[in-house]
Amino acid sequence: MKHTIEVNGIKLYAYHGCLPEEGKIGGHYLVDVSVDTDFVKATQTDDLSKTVDYVSINAIVKEEMAIRSKLIEHVGQRIVNRLKNELKGIVGIQIKVTKLTPPINGDVDNVAIIISE
């Protein structure tokens, strides 16, 4: 059986970007995480250890977003790798990293990357 746990709209201030200014002044980001798992045992036992803990998902996202990268593609893959390596029971994962008001030549609300594995 497939179940999904989502942690959406993780709001962060981080320092990602190719421009030197982005490393100094930073910017606002949103991260959405969706993991596929099987939490039947959790539904039967009401036991947190039988599912993927979304508190751990949030903590990993915050830790990885705090490490500067030039590309959101890079930080996104780091988050995916840690989630897969550190949390048991994940059989599928999707992450979206959104950079709000990017410093590009145009009126753009955001740019985003999505990684699905």
Q: Which residues are catalytic?
A: 99
Q: Is there a contact between 12 and 67 (Cβ–Cβ < 8 Å)?
A: no
Taking only the tens place, the pLDDT of each residue in 77-108 is 999 999 999 999 999 999 999 999 898 888 89
pLDDT at site 105? 85
CA distance 44 to 11: 32
Going along the chain from its start, the domains and CATH numbers come out as 3-116 (3.30.1130.10)
pLDDT at site 88? 95
Taking only the tens place, the pLDDT of each residue in 8-65 is 999 999 999 998 888 899 999 999 999 999 999 999 999 999 999 999 999 999 999 9
pLDDT band at 1 (very low <50, low <70, confident <90, very high): confident
Return the amino acid letter for 19: L
pTM for the whole structure? 0.94
- Exposure string over 82-101, b if 16+ CB within 10 A, otherwise e: bbeeebebbeebbbbbbbee
